[in-house]
Structure 1
Amino acid sequence: MNQDRTTELVPFTIDLTFEEARRRAAVVAALGPDWDPMAVLRGEDEAYTLLYSGLDADQQRAYDRLVAAGVLPDGDPGRAAAH
């Protein structure tokens, strides 16, 4: 016969706040002092613009539908998709 032994369990909790702060500090340290987040964002915006430039009419219609559906972000720099 199976007995309910959940009353014998000892609650276990852990606060990950310190570990998350340590992890984030390690990431920033690994990026180094020359890391420029604004330059990275500008580069991503330029790459996005280049990726979707020069589309033919069918490709542009498909792109427009995907933007309207929220699958792809609109052309505004730094914008994420709606969904």
Structure 2
Amino acid sequence: MNDRNTTDDHITEPSEIFEFDLTTHEARRRAEVVAALGDTWDPLTVMEDEAAAHRLLYSDLDADQQATYDMLVAANVLPASEQG
């Protein structure tokens, strides 16, 4: 009995290739997400609120915390703060 694989064991015939176009499914998924968000969802307000939360999170740091924050920003682990 020969335990070696032959080249025929790994050949995929063109008729066996499976292709599936996800374009229409992705468009439907995105439409469902937007519909689930509802009419009251305001992306500009969400972005402004996230920026305000970021500023609040990194405000009033003591010297050690500020040094750690600055190190993480310099290493591109955290985005730079918008505060002056």
TM-score normalised by the chain length of structure 1: 0.83
2:62 aligned partner: 56
Gaps of 5+ in 2: none
Mean CA deviation greater in 45-54 or 4-13:
4-13
User: How many angstroms apart in 1 are the aligned matches of 2:64 and 2:26?
Assistant: 46
Q: Specify which structure has the higher proportion of helix.
A: 2
User: How many angstroms apart in 1 are the aligned matches of 2:77 and 2:47?
Assistant: 20
Higher relative contact order (CA 8 A, sep 6+): 2
**Residue in structure 1 matching 2:80, options 63, 69, 74:** 74
Aligned sequence identity (%): 58
Count residues in correspondence.
77
